[in-house]
Amino acid sequence: MTRVKICGMTNLEDAQVAVEAGADLVGFIFYEPSPRYVSPETVREIVARLSLAAPEASEAFPLFVGVFVNESVERVRQIVDYCRLDAVQLHGDESPEVVAQFNGLAYKALRPKSPDEADSLIEEFTLSPHLQSPIANHLPALLLDAYHPSLYGGTGHVTDWGMAAKVARRYSIMLAGSLTPANVVEAIRAVEPWGVDVSSGVELSKGKKDHEKVRAFVEAVKG
């Protein structure tokens, strides 16, 4: 079954809808230039409220993921501990050595400009010891997003599905890049990814989710 990550959460109501719809991962962006930035204080409250409502020992309860861009390892760890997050998505220019410092709790987002660059980046990051950690079994090896020269995600561009499909044959990847309820089934058929990641494709406005689109996206993937 293809996993679903609903990202860019900024408030409790949207996060509750994603959880109730059946999202496998819920993402919070801690990159201040992003219009979907959310403070650690807000995320701590959201996670606490949702965790209180979680069924005892439920394996279906989603993972809470913090998204960081070129942040120090120390700061990321502080926020993860403070907010009680389950995993880390490194979406900037972090090295394989930085990813490895999280001992299997982090995965890297890549934004290759071309198939050749994709090959070199993927080889570089998949040699990292973090992929061999048992802790990493519930996370993708990598996330593939659309390239933009200055934006770290939220580009409005679709990732090269042909390139992504070649990578997905070898590694468990999370596919991102302008996915919507209307195109996600086609994307899954073309790429066969481990999971799919959506943010702007299920929004009313930047930072605010359209609840019907969230439900429709999850249903399209899992139905």
Separation between Cα atoms, residue 184 and residue 54, nearest integer Å: 28
Q: 83 catalytic, yes or no?
A: no
Closest CA to 63 of 1, 109, 4, 131: 4
pLDDT at position 152: 47
Query: Which of 28-32, 37-41, 97-101, 206-210 is predicted least confidently?
Result: 97-101
Could you say which of 14, 24, 145, 197 is catalytic? Answer: 145
Q: What is the pTM of this model?
A: 0.89
pLDDT at position 134: 41
pLDDT at position 53: 76
Q: What percent of the chain has pLDDT over 70?
A: 83
Predicted confidence (pLDDT) per residue in 44-66, tens digit: 999 999 998 766 545 668 999 99
Phi first, then psi, for residue 154 (nearest 5°) are 65, 35
Find tokens 């073309």 and name the residue.
Answer: 190
Query: Which of 36-45, 95-104, 201-210 is predicted least confidently?
Result: 95-104
Find tokens 């061999």 and name the residue.
Answer: 132
Instruction: Write down the mean pLDDT value for the chain.
Output: 87
Separation between Cα atoms, residue 150 and residue 219, nearest integer Å: 33
Interacting residues of 80 by C-beta distance below 8 A, sequence separation 6+: 66, 88, 105
The domains of the chain, with CATH numbers, are 3-222 (3.20.20.70)
Q: Which helix (H) or strand (E) holds 205?
A: strand 203-205
Q: Which helix (H) or strand (E) holds 28?
A: strand 25-29
pLDDT at position 79: 98
pLDDT at position 193: 96
Over the range 52-87, which residues count as b (16 or more CB within 10 Å of their CB) and which as e?
Answer: eeeeeeeeebbbbbbbbbebebeebeebbeebebbb
Residue 189 has pLDDT above 50, yes or no: yes
pLDDT at position 56: 57
Could you say which of 7, 14, 24, 160 is catalytic? Answer: 7
pLDDT at position 135: 47
Residue 136 has pLDDT above 70, yes or no: no
Decide: helix, strand or coil at residue 130: helix
Helix axes 12-21, 40-52, angle to 10 degrees: 40
pLDDT at position 20: 94
Predicted confidence (pLDDT) per residue in 67-110, tens digit: 999 999 999 999 999 999 999 999 999 998 899 899 889 999 99
The pLDDT of 182-208, averaged and rounded, is 96
pLDDT at position 74: 98
